A and B are shown apart, each in its own frame.
Chain A
Amino acid sequence: MGAYRHFPILIIAVPLVTAVLMPALSYRRERLCMPVAAAALSLSTMLTFLLYRVVRPAADGYLSYHLGGWDPPWGIEIKVDFAGLFMLSVICSISLLCLLYSRDYIGRELEGGRAFAYYSLFLLLSASMLGFTATGDIFNMFVFMEILALSSYALVAVTGRRNAVRAAFKYLLMGAPSSIMVLLAIALLYSATGSLNMAQLKELLAEGAYSRVVFASLVLMVMGFGVKAALFPLHSWLPDAHSIAPSPISAMLSGLVVEVAAFALLRLFLSVYGSGSGAVSGTSEALGVIAAAGVLFGGFMAIFQKDFKMMIAYSTISHIGYIVLGISIMNEQALTGALYHLLDHGLAKGCFFLCAGAFIYQRGYRRIDELKGAARRMPMTCTAFALAALSVIGIPPTAGFISKWYLIWGSVAGGKYLYAAVYLIGSILAAAYCLRVVYYMFFVAPPPGVWEGGPGEAPPLMVVPVWVLSLATLVMGAASFVVINRLQEAARLLL
């Protein structure tokens, strides 16, 4: 294993330290901020993909790193298993693309004095998600979650506009109590077991002592992470925050941050509390009902939105419902589908928000009505959007189809035919709101005065990430066999 074993900590620490050096850097040369940030994230991405050679979905195929040389439970453990590595690679790649997109977008949106804060917070956002995914200690998970939360509150408000500040404050007002609930849950779990290490917790919790305390901690965890993942009915902060934030940040928030919270639920249910425990089975039944409601709610609300980014935000609520519903079904196929949906939702939703950003950057158009006839002047962006929309609806051969296939297969295999129906209805709703926009873009003439003259396509540094994300949904669908079997194996091991 040699040098590989140090990769996890480098993946986390390099963006972190770069973020901290940004203010000092900007004192001398402001223009270097973005390239330095991009270099740090590229290094992390490279190291993450290199780790695929070492981490396998087998019982001993994970990478365990003991910080400070202390063995767990006395020291903190960084643990990268296959599902975690999958999530790490999703986070790294999408973060890098959104960072590249940011240069032009933020150059115009923010007055120069604040750019260093933006890049610093962006790197902290990415590094905290990486640290959150890779850790094997629940308190460490809480610390990284707080870095994630604080940087996301600030990034929503970074433009300084009235509604942005208000949206950020609403997000904070729901997010901060949820963090405290997670801390309370950790405290309760610690009092019942005396350990903070996830692997040790799984063994100790299997013994079943202090079951009432453990059950309470599970409920608090679900409530806390439910707010962060925008699970219906705790979603009310999301539409404003995601639609008003700068577009690359919306892409990160919808594509990565809420997903990481859903991934945390997966991690807790399976690697800490254990799928066999009574607390988990009871909670997952209830969670299934809530998630199904979220799928339908998000889908319906998306259809009635007039603002483009609001529509995409409600679609996120719907898709997080897909993921959590898959987790709650608790079988191998549904889990594989949920894990793969983390990838394809990140790609597709990231692409959606970056497209929306391109329209805003070039023309200032935010409403769906203003997108009529967009394809004439911005054909590349619109085609990318259409491709990503296929993935959101779940049409073969996109990645979205693969994940929905597994999710529906899992529901049927688990005897939950109602949930399979919910997934199908979700796809129909997605078709309604996505295809309406595609139809407007390509087949409807623009209203007078709109789309005449003026700029065409967005600058290359914005169009390229949009296209990479969009093509990736296609490629990861057609070539999914590369990873899906290993993912299924990993899901089986987690259960």
Chain B
Amino acid sequence: MKKVISLCFIGALGVLLLMVMASMPRMGDPQSPTNTRVIDRYLEGAEEETGTENVITGVILNYRGYDTMGEVTVIFTGLAAVLAVLGRERRGRIHAYPDRSPIRPSIIVRSAVSFLLPFIVLFSLYTVLHGEISPGGGFQGGAVLAAGMFVFAAAFGLWRAGRTVPPWLRYAVEGAAPVTFFLVGAAGLVGGAEFLTYMLPKASAGLQPSLRTWMTLLVEGGIGAGGAMIFLSILMAMAREEDAGGQAA
């Protein structure tokens, strides 16, 4: 019965949504409101104003950098939420993460992962650093790095992953993204300009463009490293077994 009511409701919603979609501006119309307002300045001016050739990087880090600061806070909140619910390992103890699978990954898998992992890490670095001139960016690179670490954990076991990336490193770098945002943003404040202006107002005008590039890179690196560590920490929190007492230690 409940299923029938829900189906009717969703069907009605679907029909209404389709009607709305039919009333929207035609997709691809160069005269639609989204394509005529605001974006001209982004598309033409991004290179001089933000120092990045990739307009999207300019938008997310510079024009709408505050949103990206909020985004890194969201992912950090996700980590804090997972830790609040599942707990974190006690200081000084690396838990034995039991390996539940009946089959140990074969030698083929382990060799392939050992071979590929350096390239994955290199590619993630490339993605982060190249975010300004090609598709890529901080978060994208961080996701690739996290994926590499997950593959390592899957092939070699979580205990080895936990030893390779020790807890103190994870704790220190998790907060990196919002903190670098705040530091870079506050640097702009110090000289009297607004928060998140990528400049040090005390420095000379000739130095500003390269300062801006360095600050952007710093933020991208922070986002990438922070994101990767956060994902790894979430994985380790979720995969950790409870102690015999029935409570996650």
Which A residues form the contact surface with B (CB < 8 A)?
6, 9, 13, 16-17, 19-24, 27, 65-70, 73-76, 111, 113-114, 117-118, 120-121, 124, 128, 131, 137, 139-140, 143-144, 146-147, 150-151, 153-155, 157-158, 160, 165, 188, 190-195, 204, 209-210, 212-213, 216
Residue of A nearest to B198 (CB): A68
6 contacts between A and B (CB under 8 A): A9-B195, A20-B73, A20-B175, A69-B193, A75-B64, A216-B17
Say how far B227's CB is from chain A's closest CB, in angstroms. Answer: 13
Q: How far, in angstroms, from A147 to B81 measured CA to CA in the complex?
A: 10
Known A-B contacts A114-B83, A117-B84, A160-B85; the reply to A20 vs B25 at CB < 8 A is no
In the bound complex, do residue B247 and residue A160 qualify as a contact, i.e. CB atoms below 8 Å apart?
yes
Instruction: Tell me which of B33, B77, B83 contacts A150 (CB under 8 A).
Output: B77
Instruction: Tell me which of B17, B67, B80, B182 contacts A139 (CB under 8 A).
Output: B67
Residue of A nearest to B68 (CB): A143
Q: How far, in angstroms, from A285 to B39 measured CA to CA in the complex?
A: 37
In the bound complex, do residue A24 and residue B178 qualify as a contact, i.e. CB atoms below 8 Å apart?
no
In the bound complex, do residue B80 and residue A121 qualify as a contact, i.e. CB atoms below 8 Å apart?
yes
Known A-B contacts A13-B185, A16-B178, A17-B179; the reply to A210 vs B25 at CB < 8 A is yes
Which B residues form the contact surface with A (CB < 8 A)?
16-17, 19-20, 23-25, 32-39, 41-42, 62-67, 70-71, 73-74, 76-78, 80-85, 87-88, 90-91, 168, 171-172, 174-175, 178-179, 182, 185, 188-189, 193-198, 247-249
Q: Which residues of B contact A113 (CB under 8 A)?
A: 87-88, 90, 249
Instruction: Tell me which of A140, A188, A212 contacts B19 (CB under 8 A).
Output: A212
Which secondary structure characterizes the binding site on chain A?
Answer: helix
In the bound complex, do residue B23 and residue A144 qualify as a contact, i.e. CB atoms below 8 Å apart?
no
Residue of B nearest to A131 (CB): B70
Known A-B contacts A20-B175, A21-B175; the reply to A191 vs B24 at CB < 8 A is yes
Q: Which residues of A contact B83 (CB under 8 A)?
A: 23, 114, 117
Instruction: Tell me which of A74, A121, A128, A216 contacts B41 (CB under 8 A).
Output: A74
Say how far A283's CB is from chain B's closest CB, in angstroms. Answer: 15
Name 18 extra pairs, CB < 8 A, besides A195-B38, A210-B24.
A21-B175, A66-B194, A68-B62, A69-B193, A74-B41, A76-B67, A113-B90, A120-B80, A124-B80, A140-B66, A143-B71, A147-B74, A151-B77, A155-B84, A158-B84, A194-B35, A195-B33, A210-B33
Q: How far, in angstroms, from A76 to B63 measured CA to CA in the complex?
A: 7
